[in-house]
Each structure stands twice: as structure tokens, then as C-alpha cells.
Amino acid sequence: MNHGIRVNKENNNAALYIYSQSYGSSMGKIKSKIDNNSDYFGAAIGSSMKKDQGRIEIHGGHIYAEAREKASELGESGGGAGIGSGRDASGAPVIIYGGNIEARGGDYAAGIGSGCEYLFNDGRNGGQLNIQGGHVEAYGGIDGAGIGGGEDADGGIIEISGGYVYAEGKDYGAGIGGGEAGDGGDVNGDGTVSVADVTLLVNIIIGNEDETSIQNADINGDGTISIADVTALTDIILNESINIMNVVVYGAEGIRFE
């Protein structure tokens, strides 16, 4: 399927539910890849450009979703997620219960989550992303998170409670979290989430640093920069915010857990 699977919320609150009644090599397969004649800026599985995404649930099957990697060659920057929303579109719940999933984001988009926030820049994010089982691999496009936000988009609400997860951000995108310039934990912008970010965040809170120059300091996304953000950032570093051991995160802001 080379034109993507569209799940645009405006179409009578459209939703997509994928099931597989078999296991192992006999599981059903879906391959959705955006080609040169498709919705360049839409997700491979999810919404079109500027169309808010409907709910997506995956209960099983072999799923391969690849958004168009070089949509920017058309003269505009930004693409859609592998699974999630298209460019300049709001995310919605993506819940994975099982299956073998590989998702690759387009230019400046997340593997699973949101597309690039290119025109509107008004706080869109990856939506609610919940992984409870299965084997999941997610690869962000340029400056996109593996799981979470595309460029300029925040990570959203990400919960991982089961399965095997590999998430790889590209360039300045997080492994899990925000895309470049999106909230996701890398406060000082050095490409890693570490104690140095906690130190800078504390200095921002006590007034020794100008918070207007820091884009990623609101870790918990509540609209303020406070001690609650220090707690949230510490949880990320100590792996308390991801309650599963077999999670591998690799990327510019990524943390690697084995």
C-alpha cells in the first residue's frame, strides 16, 4: 500500500483497530509506505497534513509503516510520522498491545507520534502514546524523536508498560520525547539528558539563568518551570518514568536502557 492509511478524526471521528488472529510467521501483514505520488506530508498510518489524527489501536500483526523521507525536496520542510499524525496536525491515542511493528518517520517527524510542526507552531505534540506489549521499533526522521514529537513538537504523554521497544531519534530528536526544539528533557541542548540538565534547570528556577532562552525546561508540560520539573527530569535519568527493563533508546537526546 503506497498511499498511506488515512485516519483523519474529522471523518466521523475515524479510528483504526488492527487485530491478528494468528501468531508467529502466520500473522497477518500490513505494509504502508508513502511514495512519490501520495500524500507527501501525511503519516504512513494516521492523519493527512493539517488533519487531526483519530485513535489507532494495534493488537497484533506484522506492521511496517514508512512516511516519505524526502518530502522536503518538494520545496517545503516537514513530513508525517510513520504511525501518528501528519505535518501540522494534532496527535491522538496510539495504543499498541502486541504485534511486530516498525515505524519510520518522514522528514522532521517522529517514528511514532507527531509529524513536523512547520506552519502553525502552536504547541502540538505526539499525543497519547501507550505501548503495552509487542516488539516495537521506531525511527525518527531528521530532528524527529523515535517515539514522541516531530521537529518543534513536544513529546506528549508516553507510557511504556510492556513489550520490547527500540526508539531511535535522528540528529536533534530524542529517542523518546520531543523533537528538536520540543520539550523532552534536554534542557541545555547538548544532545543528552544528564545531571547537567538538572543543574541548569535548578539555576533557572532560582533565577541564575534566563528561562526565556531555554526551550525544553518545562519537563512535565504544565506551563510553568518549577521544582516539579526537576523531579520529572530526575525520574527520566533514573529510569523511573519508564517502567520496563527491555527498552532501548538511542538518539541525540536519547537514554539507553538495557
Query: What is the b/e burial string over 7-23, where b = at least 16 CB atoms within 10 angstroms of the residue's CB?
Result: bbbeeeebebebebeee
Q: Is 227 exposed, middle or buried (0-12, 13-18, 19+ CB in 10 A)?
A: exposed
Which amino acid is present at 32? S
Distance, in Å, from the CA atom of 106 to the CA atom of 113, rounded to the nearest integer, reads: 11
Going by C-alpha positions, the residue among 27, 37, 24, 30 that lies closest to residue 1 is 30
pLDDT of residue 257: 37
pLDDT of residue 192: 54
pLDDT at 120 exceeding the cut of 80 = no
Partners of 101 in the beta sheet? 63, 136
pLDDT, mean of residues 115-130: 69
pLDDT, mean of residues 51-60: 91
Summarised one tens digit per residue, pLDDT across range 232-258 is: 777 666 544 443 434 555 454 444 333
Highest mean predicted confidence (pLDDT) among 13-17, 183-187, 228-232: 13-17
Distance, in Å, from the CA atom of 114 to the CA atom of 132, rounded to the nearest integer, reads: 19
Question: On the CB side of 190, how many CA atoms lie within 13 Å of its CA?
Answer: 9
pLDDT at 210 exceeding the cut of 80 = no
Summarised one tens digit per residue, pLDDT across range 19-41 is: 986 666 778 899 998 865 556 78
Q: Which residue has the higher pLDDT, 241 or 78?
A: 78
Summarised one tens digit per residue, pLDDT across range 182-206 is: 655 545 455 555 667 677 777 777 7
pLDDT, mean of residues 98-116: 91
Q: Strands, DSSP E only, in the chain?
A: 5-6, 16-18, 29-33, 45-46, 56-58, 62-66, 83-84, 94-96, 100-104, 112-113, 128-131, 135-139, 147-148, 157-160, 164-168, 176-177, 247-250
Distance, in Å, from the CA atom of 146 to the CA atom of 30, rounded to the nearest integer, reads: 20
CB neighbourhood size of 161 (10 A): 11
Q: Which residue has the higher pLDDT, 254 or 176?
A: 176
Q: Which residue has the higher pLDDT, 54 or 224?
A: 54
pLDDT of residue 82: 94
Integer angstrom CA distances of residue 70 from 73, 177, 228, 255, 256: 6, 23, 39, 27, 28
Task: Provide φ and ψ at 65, rounded to 5°.
Answer: -130, 120
Summarised one tens digit per residue, pLDDT across range 137-165 is: 999 988 888 888 888 777 677 777 778 88
Strands 128-131 and 94-96: parallel
pLDDT of residue 256: 37
Contact yes or no for 211/204 (Cβ under 8 A): yes
* pTM higher than 0.75: no
CB neighbourhood size of 69 (10 A): 16
Q: What is the mean pLDDT of the chain?
A: 75
Percent residues over pLDDT 90 in the chain: 19
Distance, in Å, from the CA atom of 243 to the CA atom of 251, rounded to the nearest integer, reads: 20
